[in-house]
Amino acid sequence: MKRANAIDTSVAHLLHRVGQCAEEIFHGEIQNGDLTPRQLAVLVTVARNEGLNQTDLVDRTGVDRSTMADIVRRMQHKGLLQRRRTKEDARAYAVKLTDGGRRMLRSVDPLLKKVDARILNALPASKRGRFIDQLRAIVGAMEH
């Protein structure tokens, strides 16, 4: 029997490896070199919450501030997002989807479901819901 070493039982390492595998599956299915998992998270979050400012997007996605500013700027240049100064705070931008952003989401939605299915197929069907719940619990606990 193979003996586990510290790296085989390191939660941080295993989560990192799962993230790498998930990103590889994402890129294999999406095959749109212009869209990353973080960009997709921003698109989905904006679609569900039109008009959020970038600070709110940081809070809801977990993407750090400087990366968020870069993502929004790049996606704006690609015609996927638009941003306008908010009435409440002239320093803040409200972020909204463009028609191009909506089209992008519609086109990748079935592919994203395939990505999730490929990842979850590593587990028995009876454990998948609990696994997602546990991931949410970890994220929720670590955010606070």
DSSP labels, 49-118: STT-BHHHHHHHH---HHHHHHHHHHHHHTTSEEEEE-SS-TT-EEEEE-HHHHHHHHHHHHHHHHHHHH
pLDDT at 93: 82
Q: How far is CA 140 from CA 4, 15, 48, 68, in A?
A: 29, 16, 19, 20
pLDDT at 34: 74
User: Mean per-residue pLDDT for 51-64?
Assistant: 92
pLDDT at 90: 76
Look over the chain and give the mean of its residue pLDDT values, rounded to a whole number: 91
pLDDT at 43: 95
Give exposure, 77-91, as e/b (b: 16+ Cβ within 10 Å): eeebbbbeeeeeeee
87 — pLDDT class (breaks 50, 70, 90): confident
Decide if pLDDT at 1 tops 70.
no
The answer to whether 101 touches 95, Cβ cutoff 8 Å, is no
Decide if pLDDT at 61 tops 90.
yes
Domain 6-143 has CATH 3.10.20.340: no
